Amino acid sequence: MQKSLLINVDKCTGCLQCEMACSLDNEGMFNTSKSRIKVFDFHEQGQFVPYTCTQCAEAWCMKACPVDAISVDMATGAKVVSNDRCVGCRVCTIACPFGTINYNQTTGKVIKCDLCGGDPECAKACPTDAITYVDADWTGLDRMRDWAGRSSAGAQAEA
Amino acid sequence: MAWTKKILRVNLSKGTCKSEPLNMDWAQKYLGQRGLATKYFTEEVDPKVDPLAPENKMIMTTGPLTGTCASTAGRYSVVTKGALTGAIACSNSGGFFGNELKNAGWDMIIFEGKSPKPVYLLLEDDNAQLLDAGEYWGKSVWDTEEGIKQKHRDPLIRVASIGIAGEKGVKFACVVNDMHRAAGRSGVGTVMGSKNLKAVALRGTKGIKVKDFAAFSQATAKGKEILAGNAVTGQGLPTYGTQVLMNVINEVGALPTRNHKDVQFEGAHDISAEKMHEKRASDGKANLVRNAACFGCTIACGRISQIERTHYTVAERPKYQGASGGLEYEAAWALGAATGVSDLEALTFCNFVCNEQGFDPISYGATVGAAMELFEIGAITTKETGGLDLTFGNTKALTELTELTGKGEGFGAEVGLGSKRLCEKYGHPDLSMSVKGQEFPAYDSRGIQGMGLTYATSNRGACHLRSYTVASEVLGIPEKTDPLVTDGKAGLVKAFQDATAAFDSAGICLFTSFAWTLEDVAPQIDAACEGGWTADKLLEVGERIWNLERQFNLAAGFTGKDDNLPKRLLKDAAKTGPAKGLVNGLDKMLPEYYQVRGWTTEGVPTNETLSRLGV
């Protein structure tokens, strides 16, 4: 069963523990500038928004790649960049509508979220559960439960 | 590792930027940040220097844990000789500037000299440039930060800058980073302004390595677990922020009110955390928008607030209508209880202006409190204040004066002198509620006795962040002591001072110490850094730092006589609350304190103490 990263914006405090965990796993050091997940600070609204690849089923990046460097990890559903194949042409960065695949000047390759092989470090590092890793078919489950709860309370109030 | 082992030396007079290796012998003795930068500073700067002279230096410094995944590890400090105090200054800030400096590959930046014209430092990894800041001079922190990001077309740049307050020589100007996090106290921003240095802009992409990643991950995970499980760091601070204290400290009878004339404020609830959570009648929204974290912080005590759009302070002024940082407890107290003002929206506005123009709300609010008392007794009148009716509790006078002070205009320029100089100027030096020229924070030492000794002996002038015995005397951390007695406080203050100096030198936030002892910190540092770091070693580092700072102050001209409190706290008893009838018993605590410190009866470290610590 595949899982998805689920982001609850209201819970994010903007601490960047996710970016550090991501860079440690992928780069072997703490380096938020090389993180695959980015947290955006919408200062005037008082909102922090983590954003990363949603692993599109028909991924634009994968289709655009001229050297087939991006493939599907069948276990996780992640679209994974092969560093051996990637030539750093960056066509995928143009193709991706969401901007979540990016070029890394240090290596000359592109980087994107690969779900850490099915155990995403960002979700484990998040201190507030703003990022969780849940059943890909039920990313709406918590919200459904909230609304179900309200219906239940409403039904009781009416009874 | 953990240290980058590199420092950047920027000579503003010559316009040069040079890389130097970090002195690793000193790193072993002083750890980083507060301790290590103070060592550099005291080795290089004449203690008698005028704080605003080019010969004074200013160091922006990180700790070894800064930029790592240890909880709260994004801190940096500004170390200099304080413009407000003339004592050693070390102001600590969160936000995201410290980790960026570290990520660019630097442990610290030493600024020396004075630029012939306004400049800012742009530091992108190894590439350091001093650029013309003419277009930003005369602009606020907010406009400068936005302007620099736009000019370089890089939204990821992190900026620390001064506002107009720092340019105009307001004595308690801050260095503000990330719009609303500040190295706030002692006038470190004033020193930056005196050097014609408007801003420091950073981009770091190099990454930070620690000695043993596996051990570090384990040690930091354990640290985070302790924070999450602790009532203060796991619940109180994330939910209510530091403002959780407003009602508590008022109940204890230690909320300094109207320039310390009273110890309880009738308007405390109206400016409290609870009030920030309440929905307003007018728009159905609460003042508090949400809590927020600094870099790496799993506590997230920061307050993000939004002023009621129809409030007179912001109506027709869109730049103040968005969400921004504040109110924290100290600012709410100083702007509110110290002046007798209890309009939460007005105080939030004043806090925004303090951030926007870069000045310390604690010293500012406390100085307004002093000015209001001068006004009350007729020592100043509307003639001096430029027409402002400085009656205690006058909200509109407070908000107007805040804008004037931020720009160093009108009577705001006089408030910008700080309470000591202001009260001396108008013939009532006793009305300045300060020690070594720095105003008290939000705890009255008649109601919390240990804080009297804390303030009197603090190396940077009156300050709660040098030994927060409130933790023990009110909150019972690590163990409860009676706030109304002086017994045992000398040892308590020393223990807090030494431990705090170690926390401040590591790159982490002092608030972790509500849950962590040095036993919890040591494994994190030891996994990151060479040197066999234990709690005992950290405590010794802390004591060494305290004595080094003391030596600098003594050489700068301070003596044991400056380890004192204003007469009001020693002669006028608290009128209400649990401390009713009490004054602060400093005379009972101070001699014992000198003794436990290994200092002479005049407050001078003995040769034996200095050689034991290797100072």
Q: Which one-letter DSSP state was computed for residue B479?
A: S
Nearest residue in chain A measured CA to CA from B295: A15
Q: Which of residues 49-68 of B touch A (CB under 8 A)?
A: 67-68
Percent of chain B, pLDDT > 70?
100
- Residues B155-169 have pLDDT tens digits of 999 999 999 999 999
Q: How many residues does chain B have?
A: 615
- Residues A113-133 have pLDDT tens digits of 999 999 999 999 999 999 999
Q: How many residues does chain A have?
A: 159
Residue type, B577: G
Inter-chain residue contact A33 with B204, CB threshold 8 Å: yes
Q: How far is B322 from chain A (nearest CA, A)?
A: 5
Average pLDDT over residues B384-403: 98
Give the number of other Cβ atoms within 10 Å of residue A159's Cβ: 5
Instruction: Report which of A87, A118, A113, A119 is spatially closest to residue A100, judged by C-alpha positions.
Output: A113
Nearest residue in chain B measured CA to CA from A49: B292
Residue type, A100: T
Inter-chain residue contact B290 with A34, CB threshold 8 Å: no
Give yes or no for a contact between B354 and B361, defined as CB atoms under 8 angstroms apart. Answer: yes
The pairing of beta strand B119-124 with beta strand B197-203: parallel
What CA–CA distance (Å, rounded) separates B445 from B422? 23
Q: How far is A70 from chain B (nearest CA, A)?
A: 25
Q: How far is B293 from chain A (nearest CA, A)?
A: 5
What CA–CA distance (Å, rounded) separates B266 from B249? 13
Q: What is the pLDDT of residue A157?
A: 67
Using the CB atoms, write b or e for B565-581: b if 16+ within 10 Å.
Answer: bbebbbeeebeebebee
- Residues B471-503 have pLDDT tens digits of 999 999 999 999 999 999 999 999 999 999 999
Judge if ipTM > 0.85.
yes
Q: Which of B67, B295, B324 sits opposite A43 (nearest CB)?
A: B324
Q: What is the pLDDT of residue A155?
A: 74
Q: Is the pLDDT of residue A159 over 90?
A: no
Contacts of A21 in chain B (CB under 8 A): 69
Q: How far is A35 from chain B (nearest CA, A)?
A: 11
- Residues B20-68 have pLDDT tens digits of 999 999 999 999 999 999 999 999 999 999 999 999 999 999 999 999 9
Instruction: Report which of B557, B458, B599, B467 is spatially closest to residue B89, judged by C-alpha positions.
Output: B458
Inter-chain residue contact A16 with B204, CB threshold 8 Å: no
Give yes or no for a contact between B228 and B20, defined as CB atoms under 8 angstroms apart. Answer: no
What CA–CA distance (Å, rounded) separates A65 from A85? 10
Nearest residue in chain A measured CA to CA from B221: A125
Inter-chain residue contact A14 with B293, CB threshold 8 Å: yes
Q: Which of B69, B206, B213 sits opposite A17 (nearest CB)?
A: B69
Q: How far is B256 from chain A (nearest CA, A)?
A: 31
A18 touches chain B (CB under 8 A): no
Place of tokens 């200062």: A43
In a mutational test of the A interface, the residue from B3, B97, B297, B511 whose CB has the highest number of chain A CBs within 10 Å is B297
Nearest residue in chain A measured CA to CA from B205: A33
Q: Supply B189's token pair.
A: 């921003």
In a mutational test of the A interface, the residue from B220, B304, B352, B356 whose CB has the highest number of chain A CBs within 10 Å is B304
Q: What is the pLDDT of residue A153?
A: 79
Give yes or no for a contact between B391 and B375, defined as CB atoms under 8 angstroms apart. Answer: yes
A35 touches chain B (CB under 8 A): no
Inter-chain residue contact B206 with A31, CB threshold 8 Å: yes
User: Counting one residue from A and one from B, how many pairs have CB atoms under 8 Å apart?
Assistant: 87
> CB-side exposure of B340: number of CA atoms within 13 Å?
17
